[in-house]
Amino acid sequence: MRCKDGLKFIALILTLSFCQHAYATLVLGDTLQVQFRVGQSDIDLSYADNERHITQFCQRVLRNLAITDQEEMQLNIYTGASPEGPAELNRRLGEQRGIALKELLTERLKGLVLHCAVINEGARWGHLYNMVEQSTEPWREDVLTILGKRPGADEWKTDDREQRLRKLKNGLVWRELNDKYLPSLRTSGSAVIFPIRDIPVSQRDTIVIRDTIIYLPEPCPQYEPPIDLSPAWAIKTNLLLWGVIAPNIQVERSLGKTNRWSIEGEFFWPWWTWSHNAHAEQFFNIGAELRYWLGNRQKHHTLDGWHIGLGLAGGYYDFEWKKSEGWQGEYLNVYFNVGYQHRFGRHNQWAIDGGIGLGWIPTKYRHYVGSSQAMDYAEQHPGKNYSLGPNEDYDNHLMWLENDSKHILGATHVNITISYIIGAKKKATGNHVNRQSDKETRAAAKASKKEDKAIAKQLKADTKEAEKQAAEQAKVAAKQAAADAKAAEKQAAEQAKVAEKQAKAAEKEAQAKAKEAEKQAKAAAKAAKKNANNN
């Protein structure tokens, strides 16, 4: 049992040693966060608990450098400023903050070989973009579109993103940004420390540059709204009318900056006669509808979603059917429409719309029979005075049966339309981003993705190698511990055998002595008895 306890103790010591080494390696990648006062580059140790954070960071580094036997280390310092104000001023402020933090850490870590790089990110538009992107603010899409604008090479002179944000929604958005998001960007700085090792050149986080200041403006992603908010036209046709052989076309246009309103015009014109003019389907209709689009328009494409509308249409009709009996007249159609339109396709350039309109149709009509039946109809009804159409003879005429008017209430407008959207963008981007910027952005994103893959691959290989070495070391240590335990157990067994042998010899000797004493005692008793008899 004692040998097994000893083996467990040795294994525990080895495990603690391995964990200590791993902990030291982890801490060397730790990050220090320092807070600056607004607009200041000097580090106030009494501000925002800076003294405690810096002291603890330096203690961790020194303690764990000793554990890992490192003599040199890489110190990367990232600084910047809030994007508000002149960009050149923010760039200088970020540089001064980086220098101040470098000097402070160099003093605190005196005696170590430091490879220091100050990376000045300038105005932190990217930080602001990421914070807004993760929010649920109602103005989120508008702000991301502005932040996604890519200025030119002289961006410190021409960057107008701040002015555009200040004007958004009459300053309301800027006030909320100023209260919730900008304060943390005005004051932060950070330092990351690494042990020196063979580092790939492409690994941007650990570039080993001695005492260098780099101005690396923080990249801001180009925003691509998930929806197309651009103004658009729609060319449409009602599939239900084609079911009754009625050619038709509608045109719709979005209105206003928010695309909350649209106006649609419709026109259909079936003008058919057949069977020697005994049958006719003649219809001429023209109308317009003003629509209001419901829901959050920041979550729907232009001309997409639920809508209500007020429509007015009118025209002329002439239907002749069942034995040349027909009706012709003029009408109006006033209706209230409710519908839903959904955009689809690769670039959302197609749409399907369904709706029903409840309304009122007043019409004046003329009931007649056509030329093929007029003679027979007059002969069958001799007592009625039917009038003929003007300038009609008995071989080609209309016979008027009655004139009347009618009012219809109900579903006076029904549509299932298919549309093509003119103005649907292949990629919805900010208004100030041109095609060249898009091309450059895609190329940069592709290069960055390739580089990130290479970095991830290298890190994975390094991690795998470290794990392999640690496993081998643990295996050797366990093997040595097992051998030591076996040797100790063997030695203990040998010692136990010797002790047992010695115990048996002592017992045998004691038994011999006891027999001798017993023999002497018997002799003495016999002698004593003999003397007693003689007396």
Residue 535 located in a structural domain: no
**Residue 505 carries which side chain, given as an amino acid letter?**
A
pLDDT > 90: percent of the chain? 19
List the one residue out of 183, 176, 139, 147 whose CA is nearest residue 163.
147
pLDDT band at residue 168, thresholds of 50, 70 and 90? confident
User: H or E segment at 41?
Assistant: none
Burial label, 259 (beta-carbon count in 10 A; 0-12, 13-18, 19+): buried
Provide the pLDDT confidence category of residue 317 given band limits of 50, 70 and 90.
very high
Do 286 and 414 have their domain in common?
yes
Indicate if 113 and 177 belong to the same structural domain: yes
Q: Which long-range contacts (CB under 8 A, 24 or more apart) does 53-57 make?
A: 54/104, 54/105, 54/108, 55/108, 57/30, 57/32, 57/191
User: 188 with 248, same domain?
Assistant: no
Q: Which domain holds residue 518?
A: 438-529
Same domain flag for 193 and 130: yes
Q: Which of 225, 249, 278 is the last residue of a domain?
A: 225
Res 322: pLDDT: 67
Instruction: Report helix angle 435-534 to 2-27, nearest 10.
Output: 160
Q: Flag whether pLDDT at 277 surpasses 70.
A: no
| CB 64, CB 23: distance < 8 Å | yes
Q: 3-state SS of 47-80?
A: CCCHHHHHHHHHHHHHHHHHHHCCCEEEEEEEEE
Residue 15: inside a domain, yes or no? no
The token pair at 456 is 């991830």
Is 104 a member of any domain? Answer: yes
pLDDT score recorded for residue 59: 83
Span 150-159, mean pLDDT? 50
**Are 131 and 220 contained in the same domain?**
yes
Domain annotation covers residue 46: yes
Strands, E assignment, 124-208: 188-195
- Whether 9 is covered by a domain: the verdict is no
- 422 lies in the same domain as 444: no
pLDDT of residue 359: 95
pLDDT by residue (tens digit) across 58-83? 887 777 667 666 666 677 777 777 77
Q: Are 291 and 359 found together in one domain?
A: yes
Which residue carries 């003019």 as its tokens? 277
- Judge whether 213 lies within some domain: yes
3-state secondary structure of 173: helix
Cβ-contact 266, 286 below 8 angstroms? yes
- Do 423 and 450 lie in a common domain? no
Instruction: Please check the confidence at residue 226 and state whether its pLDDT lies above 90.
Output: no
Antiparallel, parallel or unpaired: β 113-123 and 212-215: parallel
Does any domain span residue 13? no
d(CA 369, CA 373): 6
pLDDT confidence tier of residue 238, bands split at 50, 70 and 90: very high
Whole-number pLDDT of residue 22: 38
In a domain, 12, yes or no: no
pLDDT value at position 285?
94
Residues 140 and 34 in one domain: yes
pLDDT at 212: 54
Residues 354 and 445 in one domain: no
Quote the longest CA-to-CA distance of the chain.
195
Structure tokens, 72: 């040199």
Higher pLDDT, 464 or 201: 464
Q: Are 175 and 63 spatial neighbours (Cβ–Cβ below 8 Å)?
A: no
pTM (2 d.p.): 0.43
Residue 293 confidence class, pLDDT cut points 50, 70, 90:
very high
CB 33 within 8 A of CB 21: no
Query: Does 456 lie in the same domain as 327?
Result: no
Indicate if the pLDDT at residue 145 is higher than 90.
no
Both tokens of 46, joined, read 């009494």
Task: Output the domain CATH number for residue 176.
Answer: 3.30.1330.60
**Greater confidence, 368 or 195?**
368
pLDDT above 80 (res 386):
no
Final residue before a domain boundary, out of 194, 225, 256: 225
Is 261 found in the same domain as 152?
A: no
Confidence at residue 307, expressed as pLDDT on a 0 to 100 scale: 96
Q: What is the mean pLDDT of residues 22-41?
A: 62
Residue 52 has pLDDT above 60, yes or no: yes
Reported confidence tier of residue 155, pLDDT bands at 50, 70, 90:
very low
For the chain, how many structural domains are there in total?
Answer: 3
428, 455, 479 - which closes a domain: 428
